Structure 1
Amino acid sequence: MAATANAKQEVEQLLQQLPDDATLEDIQYHVYVLEKIKRGRADIAAGNSQTTEQAREKLSRWLNH
């Protein structure tokens, strides 16, 4: 989806890509995933991310406590 598209345009594009028999639950799920991807990309652009190794180390500390 285009980076400059507004939320309504993004949902319209999403709806065009889904099959005609998509349920409301399917649509909600895809909108949810789309939003999570956008937030993740924004976090990465802002430098708020970790390497896989950093994430493994953090998870290891959580699991060992």
Structure 2
Amino acid sequence: MNTAKNEIQSLLQKLPDDCSFEDIQYHLYVIEKIRKGIERAEIEGVVSQDEVEKRFDKWATK
């Protein structure tokens, strides 16, 4: 399991040398949102693409 420090070091190695603090903050924000989304999906489950399309069709036709 990667630690937060390891993940940040990996991120910094991937970013260009001239990146700004805002660039770093943005990437950290995105990583955290993705992590929380995956965690929520594992806990609550997911909806299949077919089910999403069915629900959307019902909503969109009203």
The answer, yes or no, to whether TM exceeds 0.5 is yes
For the pair 1:27 / 2:41, whether they are aligned, the reply is: no
TM-score normalised by length of structure 2: 0.71
For 2:36, the equivalent position in structure 1 comes to 39
RMSD over aligned CA atoms reads: 2.1
Q: SS of the counterpart of 1:11?
A: helix
- Which of structures 1 and 2 has the larger relative contact order (alpha carbons within 8 angstroms, sep 6+)? 2
Sequence identity (%): 41
Matched pairs, number: 62
* 1:23-51 C-alpha deviation (Å, 9 max, x unpaired): 00000000000000000011111125445
Q: SS of the counterpart of 2:44?
A: coil
Letter in 2 for 1:37: I
For the pair 1:7 / 2:4, whether they are aligned, the reply is: yes
